[in-house]
Amino acid sequence: MNIYFYTPEFYSGGTKMIYRHVEILTNNNIPAFVLHTKNGFKNSGFQHTTPIRYWNDTRLTDEDIIIIPEYMAIWMNKKINPTGIKSFLKRKFSKNQYRYHAYEAIHSPARKVIYNQNPFYTFFDYPARPHTYTLPYHLPDCLGAVCVSQNNLEYL
């Protein structure tokens, strides 16, 4: 079993925290990796010794765990086909391969964990119609959520 943190290819405080989580897990002998889509990408915005894997060289299995950002949780629900998903991805990310593999990663056989740095993003793109869908936290392949604060946990 490996743990993969699906991570964008840009520097931010959020990506730095993801790298730090992976370092903590690996320092405790838990096989964890940052998963990037752009081969050779390594975040140079800060110093780290984080193990990195790349999408094209990684095959997720049902024994693996993929940790996805909260704003991607909506794509876990196959009953919701968010309108304009391609325009959302284009708007959300710059010209990189991250947007092309996000949906594939979420629908891989790996079990999912939602990484909540901002839980409000979890529901940002949900339809404003009556609640007829299952929230991502209640889907069978979602093991749970990682919250970065007590406030986030209480909101969820």
Q: What's the rounded Cα separation, in Å, for the pair 85 and 88? A: 5
DSSP-based helix, strand, coil % in the chain, nearest 5: 35, 20, 45
Residue pLDDT, tens place only, 35-44: 988 888 888 8
- Please answer whether residues 121 and 71 qualify as being in contact, where contact means their C-beta atoms are separated by less than 8 angstroms: yes
Residue whose structure tokens are 């404003």: 128
Q: Where are the alpha helices (DSSP H) in 6-118?
A: 13-27, 85-92, 98-106
C-alpha separations of 33 from 18, 50, 111, 121 in Å: 10, 7, 15, 24
What are the chain's domains?
3-155 (3.40.50)
Identify the DSSP state of 142: E
Model pLDDT for residues 75-130, shown as the tens digit of each residue: 776 665 554 455 555 555 545 455 557 777 887 899 999 998 887 777 776 666 66
DSSP run (H or E) holding 155: helix 150-155
**Amino acid (one-letter) located at 60:** L
Q: What percent of the chain has pLDDT over 90?
A: 29
